[in-house]
Amino acid sequence: MSDNKIKLDGDSLSLDNFIKVVREGVVVYFSKESQKKMKESRQMLEDWVNDEKVVYGVTTGFGPFVSVLIPSKHQTDLQENLIRSHSANVGPLFSEEEVRAAMLLRLNVFAKGCSAIRIGTVNTLKEMLNKRIHPCVPQWGSVGASGDLTPSSHIALALMGEGEVIYKGKKVKTAFAFKKEGVIPVKFKAKEGLALINGTTMMTGVGAIQLYDAWNLVRSAEIISAISMGALNASMEPFIARGHEMKAHPGQISVASNLRKLLADCELVINNDKLKKIQNDLQDKIKNGKEVVDSGIHVQDVYSLRATPQVLGAVRGALDYITNSLLIEMNSANDNPLFFTDLGISYQGANFHGQTVALPLDVLSISLTEIAVLSERRLNKLLDSVRSRGLTPFLAGKKAGLSCGFEGSQYIPTSLVAECRTLCNPVSIQSIPSNGENQDVVSMGLIAARKARDIKEKIEYVLAVELLAACQGVEERGVEKLGNILTLAHKEVRKLVSSHNKDRVMSNDFEKIKDFIHQGKLVSVIKKKISDLE
């Protein structure tokens, strides 16, 4: 990769480079080897077309129409009819970054050189991506079996110069954007319409964006939990390395390590030396015959503090599994048929099926929700004066009662967690046969991706509420005791949102902090101090 370009070869697209193209607009180009493979597979197909060889989707109809033979003289009509008839999605549009994700991954599929699509057609799609001409793609309608046929058709429709696109922030006719940028519409030839729509690129693209954000969220949750632990005078004992080595889940070990680093110079938590002194003092009282009914000493913290490595560690483990699955899919040839020039054959299989994406994305929804479950419980402890170890009720300060503090704010995470739990109902098992029973087992993978996206956004709000409450809590304790590391985060928060010294409308506060978390700025500011945060 150069500074401003990313090479596509069908095998090595990383999650970071994916995001650079999708969110930052970095342009792409094809490796010489990929261009060679694309030309070879196309030549093989054209030789077969000239010989009127029977090939699915080339000289036959599609799906249940597979037994209908189509003479090669109708190859353009066959492909264009496929695209127009399947441009049938409805509902709100996918965002520009989601459409870019699908376009990028389709290009990476073609870079493998097995799709037998003309390189000129591929270059037009690449030109659209690089020039930021984004087809309008409605969200609802894919069943994720022959891939995302219907949403991908809306992208292919734009390649034909038809339909609408988002261009320079406005919805315009595709023909208008093409004229402005000098892009020539494509007249599809044999197999090209099918190659453009038969695959998992929409569900994988949308899902990969959520996966990238999920990694940011689990790291953000660790930082926020550390600030909450400071506000709640939590014990450091549960994070001792040896204890986690005895269970040895990598994710759990990573979270515990991060918490030790984050809280290393925090005076608000009970470190191991403090805890030992407290326990020794208590033991002396007992030995001297003093009856201790309630010592006020918390020998063990509640699970939402003490079990943070175990819970967020499990989330990290799930994200490792999801990352592996999606990276494989992002660098896969997932259309049908595929053309293997070295074997001289076409392969008619089911690489387009989205189950390898749908199931991990269901797990992603559950994992994201678990982050919120933990956050909501910590927030409850921060706001409950019976359990907060001395913080004011609802962090309302000295005028608690007259002032409500975070009382109204607590409802937001409570509501959102309930909604996320409802959305966690798995869709990867919701197969409904379609297409004349040809697609009798479908994945619903794009629904899983959209569901994970909706949950992710809600979790960002949950964490935003906890972060503001945690910052308020440490201010009641004495922010100077928070330590140099976490103070960096506290200062950045306060640049955006002032302390809650009197009741005010907080919706805009939460929006600002939600964006701060979503953009990765919370993690970035801490990584400036702790470069080896995992």
Q: What is the pLDDT of residues 4-30, one digit of tens each?
A: 899 999 999 999 999 999 999 999 999
- Asked if residue 10 lies in contact with residue 113, where contact means CB atoms within 8 angstroms, the answer is yes
Q: Can you tell me which residue has the tokens 């933990």?
A: 374
The pLDDT of residue 52: 86
The pLDDT of residue 2: 47
Query: Whole-number mean pLDDT of the chain?
Result: 92
Please state, in angstroms and rounded to a whole number, the distance separating the CA atoms of residues 230 and 227: 5
Which pLDDT tens digit goes with each residue over 163-192?
Answer: 999 999 999 999 999 999 999 999 999 999
Q: Can you tell me which residue has the tokens 């962090």?
A: 395
133 or 142: which leads in pLDDT:
133
Residue 439, phi then psi, degrees to nearest 5: -95, 75
pLDDT at 287 over 90: no
* DSSP letter string, 293-313: S-----SS--HHHHTHHHHHH
- Asked if residue 89 lies in contact with residue 102, where contact means CB atoms within 8 angstroms, the answer is no
Task: Give the pair of three-digit tokens for residue 221.
Answer: 């949750």
Q: What is the 3-state secondary structure (H, E, C) of 179-244?
A: HHHCCCCCCCCCCHHHHHHCECHHHHHHHHHHHHHHHHHHHHHHHHHHHHHHHCCCECHHHCHHHH
Annotated catalytic, 461?
no
**Average pLDDT, integer, range 49-53:** 89
pLDDT at 276 over 70: no
The pLDDT of residue 143: 87
Residue 306 annotated as part of some ligand binding site:
yes
CB-side exposure of 464: number of CA atoms within 13 Å? 27
- Asked if residue 116 lies in contact with residue 339, where contact means CB atoms within 8 angstroms, the answer is yes
Backbone torsion region of residue 369, taken as left when φ is above 0, otherwise alpha when ψ lies between -120 and 50, otherwise beta: alpha
**Average pLDDT, integer, range 422-430:** 89
From the options 1.20.200.10, 1.10.10.10, 3.40.50.170, 3.40.1000.10, give the CATH code of 208-254+301-527. 1.20.200.10
Angle, helices 445-477/507-518, rounded to nearest 10 degrees: 110
Please state, in angstroms and rounded to a whole number, the distance separating the CA atoms of residues 176 and 178: 5
* Of 11-15, 275-279, 421-425, 447-451, the least confident: 275-279
In the chain, % of residues over pLDDT 70: 93
- Apex 395 CA angle, 393 and 505, nearest 5: 120
**Average pLDDT, integer, range 422-438:** 78
- Asked if residue 83 lies in contact with residue 157, where contact means CB atoms within 8 angstroms, the answer is yes
pLDDT confidence band for 460 (50 / 70 / 90): very high
Q: Kindly report the CATH number that applies to the domain delimited by 5-198.
A: 1.10.275.10
- Asked if residue 443 lies in contact with residue 354, where contact means CB atoms within 8 angstroms, the answer is yes
* Of 50-59, 205-214, 435-444, the least confident: 435-444
**Average pLDDT, integer, range 45-52:** 91
CB-side exposure of 386: number of CA atoms within 13 Å? 1
Which pLDDT tens digit goes with each residue over 388-405?
Answer: 999 999 999 999 999 999
Which residues make beta-bridge pairs with 170? 167
The pLDDT of residue 281: 66
pLDDT at 418 over 50: yes
Residue 132 annotated as part of some ligand binding site:
no
Other C-beta atoms closer than 10 Å to the C-beta of 97 total: 17
pLDDT at 274 over 90: no
pLDDT at 297 over 60: no
Where do the domains of the chain lie? Answer: 5-198, 208-254+301-527
In the chain, % of residues over pLDDT 90: 81
The pLDDT of residue 1: 41
The pLDDT of residue 348: 87
Which of 306, 233, 275 lies closest to 470 in space, CA to CA?
233
**Average pLDDT, integer, range 61-86:** 87
* Of 46-55, 239-248, 281-290, the least confident: 281-290
Which pLDDT tens digit goes with each residue over 466-523?
Answer: 999 999 999 999 999 999 999 999 999 999 999 999 999 999 999 999 999 999 999 9
pLDDT at 132 over 70: yes
pTM of the model: 0.94
Please state, in angstroms and rounded to a whole number, the distance separating the CA atoms of residues 153 and 414: 40
Which of 330, 112, 76 lies closest to 191 in space, CA to CA?
76
Q: Which helix (H) or strand (E) holds 528?
A: none
Its sign, for the CA torsion 26, 219, 531, 485, is positive
Which pLDDT tens digit goes with each residue over 309-322?
Answer: 999 999 999 999 99
Identify the active-site residue in 29, 56, 212, 347: 56
Which residues make beta-bridge pairs with 98? none
The pLDDT of residue 461: 98
Q: Cis omega before residue 337 (within 30°)?
A: yes
The pLDDT of residue 61: 79
